[in-house]
Amino acid sequence: MSNHKHITELTSLVQDLMSDIDMKTLHPKNKLLLYSRYVLSKFSWHFTVADISKTWIIENIDSIVNGFIRKWLDIPISGTLSNVFLDRNKFGLNICPPSVKFIQYQTVLRYSLKKSRNDSIKDLWKSS
Tens of pLDDT along 4-21? 888 888 899 999 999 999
pTM for this model (two decimals): 0.78
Torsion angle defined by CA atoms of residues 88, 80, 41 and 52, in that order, rounded to the nearest 10 degrees: -130
Please, which pLDDT band fits residue 68 given cuts at 50, 70 and 90?
very high
C-alpha 16, offset from chain centre: 14
Residues 6+ apart with CB under 8 A from 118: none
Please spell the DSSP secondary structure of 14-60, one letter per residue.
HHHHHHHHHHS---HHHHHHHIIIIIHHHTHHHHHHS---HHHIIII
